[in-house]
């Protein structure tokens, strides 16, 4: 294809389409139309994303996947966005997640549905921007923008204590982002120039920034704290259970399914290549925090009675492992992270859908009040058990591949950490099976009596998720193929 004939590229489509669709949504009045429109729009985005996967070869189709406009020319910042393997994978996850979320929560009634769905689509646009940005300033702006609609979503449609919980979340991430902004400016002052400016915000300029070891050591933390808050890694996680609990479930799915991936993604995209020396220097601290956080979160998850908080803590444990695996800087560990980024997104959305279904039907999220759901809703139970097993990373499920590889990476790095982290996997089995047992088996009671079998569209969504779980459990090769270039380029840069 002749590059001159291309008038719009994939990353542009992925950002602008959800943005436009979201803005249009604000002006639709009827709730039913809004929902249909949101589902259609998110399916179109999915279509764009799938189409882009056919042109994923970054050398052959460079012009389809990369674009750059002049923006703040005299500061050395351009509006550059592009898709490499990792971005392809994460934009695909984002594109898959939204229609699934919309369909699964179709029956939830929202006041001012047009605003709700509009904000959701704006979030999607912001997320796409984060995953495709090739200019640090553009990245920063999308990073912040992705949070703003979520703030409004949670504060408007969330649970009882939503305002405080969401505000805590917002201030946490805002403070983190501003620290990162200082870091960005500091690194910027040490980059080479462009034709128009002394320094540059371009990704490659940042990668080759001229930082001494001492400078790396402290600027590293400015970036890392911002990302650690988003992931979240212990001890920056305190916002997360409250927010997950209080947010409307559809938003929680976005938060835990995709938004936490922003943190992991950002560590791989920005921290590893910009601060290679600092990463080596602090790897023990970060892995220690992550692994410690895994145990801590797992222990709390065992004691949780609220299903939403329960899933929230289990998510902290999973993210901890990813963060630890990144800092081993091993090829196998990083590839595991890639698989797990995708798998965790799928699995946790599945968990939330099940939690949401139970809450909608019984009106409670207390594990202790539930029981015997399996008698009433066998199909729901089967789906849940599969998703739950994937969360424990049983073989044949998608999470097994990723976790196995991450553990291999961690094992090469340090055996003690591996052993401790493995304990948390055992703990995960304890809390998840315990939950399955208490909620789904045993005697049904007055609360679970009225549970009905799930509807067709919910079966459809959960079915799709289960297909993904098994598909990538036995055949993870597509994700490897997609991301291996990114990882090898990254490793060359670090070494």
* Residue numbers at the binding site for another protein (CB under 8 A): 72-75, 140-141, 144-145, 148, 152, 155-156, 162-163, 167, 170-171, 174-175, 178-179, 181-182, 185-186, 188-189, 222
Of the pair 54, 74, the CB lying nearest another protein is at: 74
Q: What is the gyration radius of the CA atoms in the chain, in angstroms? A: 22
Residue 334 burial (CB count, 10 A): 26
Of the pair 75, 382, the CB lying nearest another protein is at: 75
Residue 73 burial (CB count, 10 A): 12
- The distance of closest approach from Cβ of residue 182 to another protein in the complex, given in angstroms and rounded to an integer, is 6
Of the pair 152, 441, the CB lying nearest another protein is at: 152
Of the pair 154, 353, the CB lying nearest another protein is at: 154
- The distance of closest approach from Cβ of residue 186 to another protein in the complex, given in angstroms and rounded to an integer, is 5
Of the pair 228, 358, the CB lying nearest another protein is at: 228
- The distance of closest approach from Cβ of residue 451 to another protein in the complex, given in angstroms and rounded to an integer, is 32
What are the beta bridge partners of residue 66?
Answer: 82
- The distance of closest approach from Cβ of residue 164 to another protein in the complex, given in angstroms and rounded to an integer, is 10
- Residue 441's region, left for phi above 0, alpha for psi from -120 to 50, else beta, is beta
d(CA 337, CA 492): 18
Of the pair 177, 448, the CB lying nearest another protein is at: 177
Of the pair 72, 382, the CB lying nearest another protein is at: 72
Residue 218 burial (CB count, 10 A): 11
- The distance of closest approach from Cβ of residue 261 to another protein in the complex, given in angstroms and rounded to an integer, is 20
Of the pair 158, 372, the CB lying nearest another protein is at: 158
Please count the CA atoms within 13 angstroms of the CA of 238 that sit on its side-chain side.
6
The phi and psi torsions of 135 (rounded to 5 degrees) equal: -135, 130
- Residue 363's region, left for phi above 0, alpha for psi from -120 to 50, else beta, is left
Q: How far is CA 289 from the centre of its chain?
A: 20
- The distance of closest approach from Cβ of residue 27 to another protein in the complex, given in angstroms and rounded to an integer, is 13
User: In degrees to the nearest 10, what's the CA dihedral of 266, 59, 91, 263?
Assistant: -10
Of the pair 178, 302, the CB lying nearest another protein is at: 178
d(CA 376, CA 446): 12
d(CA 300, CA 298): 5
Of the pair 140, 282, the CB lying nearest another protein is at: 140
Residue 53 burial (CB count, 10 A): 16
- The distance of closest approach from Cβ of residue 242 to another protein in the complex, given in angstroms and rounded to an integer, is 16
- The distance of closest approach from Cβ of residue 209 to another protein in the complex, given in angstroms and rounded to an integer, is 14
Helix boundaries (H) for 26-161: 31-54, 62-65, 85-104, 113-132, 136-157
Of the pair 175, 471, the CB lying nearest another protein is at: 175
Contact between 417 and 410 under an 8 Å Cβ cutoff? The reply is yes
Helix (H) or strand (E) holding 135: none
Q: Is the dihedral of CA 69, 204, 214, 234 positive or negative?
A: positive
- Of 315, 312, 332, 217, nearest to 271 by C-alpha is 217
- The distance of closest approach from Cβ of residue 180 to another protein in the complex, given in angstroms and rounded to an integer, is 10
Residue whose entry in the numeric block shows the structure tokens 């800087």: 329
Helix (H) or strand (E) holding 77: strand 77-82
- The distance of closest approach from Cβ of residue 195 to another protein in the complex, given in angstroms and rounded to an integer, is 16
Token pair, residue 469, equals 């779980």
Q: How many residues does the chain have?
A: 495
- The distance of closest approach from Cβ of residue 156 to another protein in the complex, given in angstroms and rounded to an integer, is 6
């Amino acid at each position: 294809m002749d590059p001159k004939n291309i008038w719009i590229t994939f990353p542009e489509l992925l950002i602008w389409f959800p943005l436009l669709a979201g803005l249009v949504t604000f002006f639709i009045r009827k709730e039913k139309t809004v929902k249909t429109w949101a589902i259609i729009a998110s399916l179109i985005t999915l279509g764009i994303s799938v189409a882009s996967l056919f042109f994923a070869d970054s050398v052959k189709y460079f012009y389809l996947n990369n674009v750059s406009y002049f923006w703040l020319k005299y500061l050395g910042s351009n509006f550059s966005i592009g898709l490499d393997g990792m971005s392809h994978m994460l934009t695909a996850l984002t594109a898959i997640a939204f229609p699934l979320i919309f369909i699964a929560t179709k029956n939830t009634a929202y006041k001012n549905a047009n605003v709700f769905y509009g904000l959701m689509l704006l979030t999607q646009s912001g997320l796409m921007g984060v995953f495709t940005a090739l200019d640090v300033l553009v990245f920063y702006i999308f990073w912040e923008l992705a949070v703003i609609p979520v703030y409004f979503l949670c504060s408007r449609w969330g649970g009882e204590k939503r305002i405080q919980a969401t505000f805590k979340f917002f201030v946490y991430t805002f403070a983190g982002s501003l620290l990162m902004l200082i870091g960005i400016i500091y690194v910027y002052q040490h980059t080479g120039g462009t034709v128009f400016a002394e320094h540059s915000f371009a990704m490659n300029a940042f990668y080759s920034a001229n930082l001494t070891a001492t400078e790396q050591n402290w600027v590293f933390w400015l970036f890392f704290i911002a990302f650690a808050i988003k992931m979240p890694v212990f001890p920056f996680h305190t916002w997360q259970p409250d927010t997950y609990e209080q947010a409307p479930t559809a938003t929680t799915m976005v938060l835990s399914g995709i938004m936490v991936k922003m943190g992991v993604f950002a560590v791989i995209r920005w921290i590893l290549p910009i601060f290679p020396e600092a990463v080596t220097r602090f790897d023990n601290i970060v892995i220690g925090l992550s692994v410690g956080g895994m145990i801590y979160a797992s222990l709390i998850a065992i004691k949780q009675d609220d299903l939403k908080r329960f899933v929230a803590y289990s998510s902290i444990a999973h993210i901890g492992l990813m963060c630890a695996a990144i800092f081993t800087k091993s090829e196998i560990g990083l590839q595991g992270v890639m698989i797990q980024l995708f798998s965790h997104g799928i699995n946790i959305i599945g968990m939330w859908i099940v939690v949401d279904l139970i809450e909608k039907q019984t009106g409670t999220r207390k594990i202790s009040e539930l029981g015997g759901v399996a008698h009433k809703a066998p199909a729901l139970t089967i789906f849940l058990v599969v998703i739950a097993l994937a969360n424990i990373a049983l073989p044949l499920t998608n999470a097994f591949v990723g976790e196995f590889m991450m553990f291999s990476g961690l094992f090469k790095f340090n055996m003690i950490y591996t052993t401790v982290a493995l304990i948390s996997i055992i703990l995960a089995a304890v809390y998840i099976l315990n939950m399955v047992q208490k909620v789904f088996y045993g005697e049904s009671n007055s609360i679970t009596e009225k549970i009905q079998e799930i509807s067709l569209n919910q079966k459809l969504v959960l079915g799709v998720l289960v297909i993904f779980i098994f598909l990538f459990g036995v055949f993870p090769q597509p994700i490897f193929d997609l991301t291996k270039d990114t990882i090898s380029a990254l490793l060359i840069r670090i070494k």
